Amino acid sequence: MSLARLGQGREAEVFAWADGYVLKLFWPEFSQADAELEAQLTQQVWLLGVPSPRVVDVLEFEGRWGLVLEWIRGVPLTDYIQSNPERLRFAAQMLGALHRQLHSKAAGHLPSQRRHLIQRIQTCRLPEAERAALLQHLERLPDGTALCHGDFHPENVLVGEEGVFVVDWPSAMRGNPLADIARTTLLVMYSELPPDLPAREEILRQREVFYRTYLEHYQNFSGLNLTELQAWMPIVAAARLRENIPDEEPRLMQLIQEGLQKSDASA
């Protein structure tokens, strides 16, 4: 059976499945349990009223596990901007408002963000003393019960005729919105761009404008005190180390060292 592929990422490929549905087919290293967990999380998020796809099935296809999802017809926010660069500020405002919408949902039944971060720090490639210092730093940061995406960035936001939707929920959890914003900060501001990327310097400049606009719009909607945002950066940077992206590691190490120095100074 031949399917039309719509896209792919680090965890899965997405295919047109049936009228109104897509198949998110995980790479072979992902198990039935992985697929069922993501299906459960995605469905719980949908039931909270978040603009996200509805799960209709978990199945095995040609030796790989996948989810059958409602087809959200739209383009990633990055493509939306690239098709008309004048949309950049508006797109950033949409991202801020949407992130705030997620965080307004109580998600006490979802996995713990704190437990997730502890596990990532305990198993990342850092000396034992630094891991201990990060865990001690995390103990001083407040917990929360808000819905957090865990990987909220423009590629996981689809813009279409029916509105704006958030996709890819394998890291959905309950926790502190500031930790979720710190993860977005890391992805938007510090993800490594290829050195030969056309107009690389312009993109670097524009992403700073995009990020500032996103953060300002989030704060305008929420009134959240963002003074503790920087305190979460070494925590999410250490968690990011577990994803083994070599080009990003020098910057992640810098964020960890700077964060621990500030933590020591304020302790």
Compute the Cα dihedral for 133, 115, 33, 167 and give only its sign: negative
Mean pLDDT of 72-78: 92
Q: Return phi, psi of residue 12, to 5°.
A: -160, 165
Structural contact between residues 148 and 103, judged by C-beta atoms closer than 8 angstroms? yes
Q: What is the tens place of the pLDDT at every residue in 232-250?
A: 999 999 999 999 989 899 9
Q: Strand, helix or coil at 128?
A: helix
- 68 by Cβ neighbours in 10 Å (0-12 / 13-18 / 19+) ranks as buried
Q: Is the pLDDT assigned to residue 52 strictly greater than 80?
A: yes
**Tokens at residue 70, please?**
């409602």
Mean pLDDT (whole number) for 41-49: 96
- Closest of 76, 100, 101 to residue 216, by C-alpha: 100
- Record the tokens describing residue 252, joined without a space: 């992640």
Q: Which tens digits make up the pLDDT trace of 153-195?
A: 999 999 998 899 999 999 999 999 999 999 999 999 998 766 6
The residue written with tokens 């850092």 in the block is 126
pLDDT, average across residues 122-143? 96
Dist CA 256 CA 74 (whole Å)? 36
Percent of the chain predicted with pLDDT > 90: 80
pLDDT band at 147 (very low <50, low <70, confident <90, very high): very high
Element (H, E) at 67: strand 64-70
| Closest CA relative to residue 255, chosen from 200, 183, 205 | 183
Radius of gyration, CA atoms only, the chain = 19
Which domains are seen in the chain, by residue range? 5-70 (3.30.200.20), 75-266 (3.90.1200.10)
